[in-house]
Amino acid sequence: MTRGRIWLVAAVGFLIGATAGLVIWQAATGRFGRSSGDESRGGVDTATVAVVDSGEADASAATLDTMALSADDSGGRPGMGAAASENPIVLATRQVAPAVVSISVVLPQGAQGASALLMERMGRSYYRNVQSMGSGVIISSDGLVITNYHVVEGATGITVTLSDGQQLDAQLLEGVSRYDLAVLQISGQNLPTAQLAPETGLQIGEWVIAIGSPFGYLLADTQPSVTVGVISALNRDIKLTTGEQRAYLGMIQTDAAINPGNSGGPLVNSRGEVVGINTFIFSESGGSVGIGFAVPASRVLRVVDEVRRFGHYREASLGFGLKQLFPALARYLGLDDPVGALVAYVEQDSPAWKGGLRVYDVLRTINGQPVDNLDNLRRLMYNAKVGDHIPFTAERDGQLWDGEIVLTE
């Protein structure tokens, strides 16, 4: 390369470097993107605009029009324009977060390991109190708080801490193990509340916000934490594992981060409505991997309505047990159709008994659906409530007949 070309390349490099330096200096001093007629106010942080407005992390996606938001919008503060601070996620969080509480419980814990063996040999028992934490949300001005039942189950003391730092004793009004929901009562004045909304309008891919107090025992303040994600799936059924007593059916799945201490906190849509109660996650490490589940708000509303009207949640019961038919069993019973379920037992004077079902009847349809899978019946009963009328078709001695079960407590 000749000496002249070397000087030309060096000059071009110098100009490019100088231009880049000028842009960086202007951005740092708040001059970048200002209108020529307003040099007295700060500019807008381009990265902030790109992240908040478009949801993308690449600041280069921001347009010059976005970066040139007027100083009237920004209030003279870099990165604090209306577009940066008033998006739906921020507004929804601002609306619900004051009603989110931290729940601290005292649980009796028995001796474990070698200590338990020693106490057993001595003919004594030993219990100590341990603390556990979760989250909750205030849903009414008279102090009703919703959380998960597993957060307060077996507790000898419950303390609710509001977002402003107030600590209030709480009373457990009702715990519904089937739905893993608990209703607490606190006393206070001018309590902030959040609105429950049925999740019927939720769509997969819709933005949602998880609010709670993860690892609250490690934090020095009482403000809730916020994570954002989308609805990953609806009506998700979770298979029972060995030793599990509680089934989770019809759950909302989200990838919003849910961590230890988030249980019982609200899952909120972009309109500031509580559409679910965060309950558990799938994780091998104990931390969030983007697979979390929430109890739908419609279930919460049903429990709250029952508690308000009757003082407790009325568990609906059928009063009978079934065994799924399979070809060999159907042949043994002399049945031509292997689709159905054999009535294995019926409790006397139960709804099923009053509906006419007896042992060895074969249930063919229930609520208009063929009984080809006991999981369908389990889901039906999971969502059933006292007073529901459930029609069925059964077979007895080769004859089909119709009946109806009216659910009672």
Contact 63, 98 (CB under 8 A): no
Q: DSSP 3-state assignment of 74?
A: helix
263 is catalytic: yes
**Between the CA atoms of 323, 329, 331 and 336, what dihedral angle is there, to the nearest 10 degrees?**
30
Residue type at position 371: V
Cα–Cα distance, 316 to 390 (Å, whole number):
12
Neighbours of 44 (CB within 10 A): 27
Q: Is 171 within 8 Å of 184 (Cβ atoms)?
A: yes
What does the alpha-carbon distance between residue 223 and residue 216 come to, in Å, rounded to a whole number?
9
User: DSSP secondary-structure letter at 317?
Assistant: B
Catalytic residue among 45, 263, 288, 361: 263
* Rounded Cα gap, residues 90 and 270, in angstroms: 9
In the set 180, 213, 225, 361, the catalytic residue is: 180
Catalytic residue among 45, 104, 132, 150: 150
The rounded Cα 98 to chain-centroid distance in angstroms is 18
Find the DSSP H helices in 206-335.
297-310, 327-332
150 is catalytic: yes
Question: Is the CB of residue 374 less than 8 Å from the CB of residue 324?
Answer: yes
Distance set, CA 28 to CA 76, 85, 192 (Å): 15, 20, 40
d(CA 236, CA 239): 10
3-state secondary structure of 250: strand
Distance CA 98, CA 247 (A): 31
In sequence order, what are the beta bridge partners of 105?
A: 132, 158
Mapping DSSP onto H, E and C, the string for 181-209 reads EEEEECCCCCCCCCEECCHHHCCCCCEEE
Active site residues: 150, 180, 263
